[in-house]
Amino acid sequence: MKLLLTLAMTAGLLAQGVDTGMLLQRPTTNWPTFNGDYTGQRFSPLKQINTTNVGTLTMAWSFQTRQAAMKATPLVVDGVAYFSVPDHVWAADARTGRQLWHFSRTSSGDHLASRGVAMFKDRIYFGTPDAHLIALDARTGKKVWEVEVADWKFGYYISAAPLVVKDKLLVGMSGDQLNMPGFLEARDLNDGKLVWRWDAIPKPGEAGSETWPNAEVMARGGGMTWVQGVYDPALNLIYWGTGNPHPVYAGNVRRGANLFTCSLVALDVDTGKMKWYIQTSPHDTYDRDANQTPILIDGDYQGRPRKLLAMASRSGYYFLLDRATGESLVTAPYGAQNWSAGVDERGQPIPKPDVEPTVDGAFFEGTTTNWWTPSFSPDTGLFYVNGSHGFSIGYLMPNEETGKVEDHQGGGATSLWSESMLLALDYRTGKVRWSRKGSGGGNGILSTAGGLVFTNESGHLVALDAASGNVLWHVNPGGNLTGTAMSYELGGRQYVLTPVDGVLYAWALPE
């Protein structure tokens, strides 16, 4: 009888799924997509765990993957948690952590990260280290279909969780970026067939090609799309960031702005046609890509409501835009830097040529972030981002084939000093309202209606007061917070789920 009851409960857990309405709502009992919903805000309206009681938070359950560090954000749908590392996907009971199924597949390619899965109806979708896209039956973990998106032998792989929009899967591409261009594809939800493709590097003669010296350089220009974007259903636009150009440091062989690398682009979701763009780091020579999560905000700006898009870029600048038109409203540095001479009329930073890497070495100062997901709280009006400030020396090396210093192809940056920090920015101005040194680095941020911000600080999982940044709770989980916290409610109990190296921890108030 006990076995029958357990089987019935498991069948009940796995009987539902994700619909479009769920993706359009604030996440509460479910966290159905990578960022919780389409806005990218990573804000939970749950407030059972709040500033008055978070100090009593305790571990509810844990799940040991016995695999590589989990850089994913788990999904929770109808009481089931879905999470991944490269080559593996699991489903577990979100109340207890009990495994329901496990899918594994050996692959070639780069195993750097799996940043999560997507779900729609009763299917789970994810990308692989060998650049395949796979659909699983969410009830059993059995494979439904598999398609090749790109050839891994050229260095392509898929690390980002796909984004479900309408009847499409938006699939970003990762890669070592050497001698290859980046792209974003829309694939059919039902069978994985290609619907459209947007290339980050234009073809000769297309708009943007004039910002490259020649077709040969463009053909290996970079611009990977390896962080999931966001979607505005009213405007029918997706917003996606692109990676840095190549060669990374040798800007001398690719004179020009190098569009559309290091850019935030707005694309029509039905056709893949670009509506507008902003380049967050023109002619980048220090790996200051735009692979960060943009956040959609419906809020006040200069006394009237606006449909806004906010982004803290790896360039060290905070951007606030009208998301319908791409009009620049604010471009503000969120820390010290020496590489930019200001911003142009479009709100784009203006790079200083004398800070570019050289054979003798160039001194570089910058404040930056990375793929770590930011968060926005509509309650505080603050944009939270993990970042760092540091100094380095950028250098170039002679061409390996010719030995000539004028044919620079390689280079790098040697770090002299850096310090991680969490910044809380006023979304209307980009000004820093409070900051914490030692926070962040390698993980993202969750904010909640309970007045809390969850992140990593000096190896501890911490809950901060969202208004002031004061520490209200911390725990050393025995590893690094490698993914991003998320929250859900089941049976009247709120949980906070955190990936820590290869372990998934669930935290809740004592019962």
Which residue of the set 130, 199, 287, 501 is catalytic?
287
By three-state DSSP, how is residue 332 classified? Answer: strand
**Cα 215 from Cα 209, distance rounded (Å):** 8
Give, as one character, the DSSP assignment of residue 20. H
The answer to whether residue 232 is catalytic is: no
Task: Give the number of other Cβ atoms within 10 Å of residue 252's Cβ.
Answer: 18
In the block, tokens 């010296």 appear at: 213
Report the residue count for the chain.
511
Q: How many Å separate Cα 62 from the centre of its chain?
A: 24
Q: Report helix, strand or coil for 181.
A: strand
Question: How far apart are alpha carbons 245 and 219 in whole angstroms?
Answer: 11
Instruction: Copy the structure tokens of residue 364.
Output: 């570089």
Q: Other C-beta atoms within 10 Å of 271: how many?
A: 12
Structure tokens at 239: 């917003």
d(CA 140, CA 254): 50
Which DSSP state fits 113?
Answer: -
Contact 339, 282 (CB under 8 A): no
Task: Catalogue the E-assigned strands of 55-122.
Answer: 58-64, 75-77, 80-85, 88-93, 99-104, 118-120
Question: CB-side exposure of 96: number of CA atoms within 13 Å?
Answer: 8
How far is it, in rounded angstroms, from Cα 475 to Cα 61? 15
Name the residues annotated as catalytic: 287
